């Protein structure tokens, strides 16, 4: 069981690293995410068979990467506050509120997507993966992968910036 899990992890490690890196925005942080994901993946699989082990592994990486990104954003805000105190410069509350609202809408729109579409969109936009890699991961053609990503982008656009 452990050997199969390790083989799966190693076979997809570079894709997982690109995926996590796209979310956290830093390759070294993505490495940390993968290490933690491997530990959690092993703990979750101990004593039971996973129905979709690769999908489960991607979900672990996604959740850990998003947690890391949120933590980095919070730390960045703390640094901005400290910088504002030093320089006396601040972004407008309106701009911050608008950006925050758009992020909330985007997260809600992503949550509405079917899992396959969400994974494809995250791999493409956050992970920087190529369509052929997404197609391979999803078991579809490159054309279908393109259509899935395009549908996801269109859905998010409609939800974040609806037309008047």
∠ CA 134-107-22, nearest 5°, is: 40
Residues 118 and 134 in one domain: yes
Residues 84 and 96 in one domain: no
Residues 47 and 116 in one domain: no
Integer angstrom CA distances of residue 97 from 16, 27, 35, 80, 93: 33, 29, 35, 15, 6
For residues 122 and 148, the answer to whether their CB atoms sit within 8 Å is no
Residues 80 and 124 in one domain: no
Q: Looking at 69, 90, 111, which one is the last position of a domain?
A: 90
pLDDT 10s digits, 90-126: 566 776 777 777 888 888 888 899 999 998 988 888 7
Domain residue limits at 16: 1-90
User: What pTM, to 2 d.p., does this model score?
Assistant: 0.50
Q: Per-residue confidence at 89, pLDDT binned at 50, 70, 90?
A: low
Q: Per-residue confidence at 147, pLDDT binned at 50, 70, 90?
A: very high
For residues 41 and 9, the answer to whether their CB atoms sit within 8 Å is yes
Q: Looking at 90, 125, 144, which one is the last position of a domain?
A: 90
For helices 142-160 and 93-112, the axis angle rounded to 10 degrees is: 140
């Amino acid at each position: 069981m452990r050997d199969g899990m390790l083989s799966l992890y190693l076979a997809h490690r570079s894709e997982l690293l690109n995926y996590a890196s796209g979310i956290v925005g830093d390759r070294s942080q993505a490495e940390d995410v993968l290490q933690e994901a491997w530990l959690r993946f092993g703990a979750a699989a101990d004593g039971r068979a996973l129905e979709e082990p690769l999908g489960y592994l991607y979900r672990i990486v996604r959740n850990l990467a998003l947690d890391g990104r949120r933590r980095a954003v919070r730390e960045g805000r703390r640094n901005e506050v400290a910088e504002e105190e030093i320089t006396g410069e601040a972004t407008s509350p309106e701009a911050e509120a608008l950006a925050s609202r758009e992020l909330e809408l985007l997260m809600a729109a992503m949550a509405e997507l079917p899992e396959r579409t969400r994974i494809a969109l995250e791999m493409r936009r956050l992970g920087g993966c190529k369509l052929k890699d997404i197609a391979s991961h999803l078991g579809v053609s490159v054309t279908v992968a393109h259509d899935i990503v395009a549908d996801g982008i269109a859905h998010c656009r409609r939800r974040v910036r609806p037309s008047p």
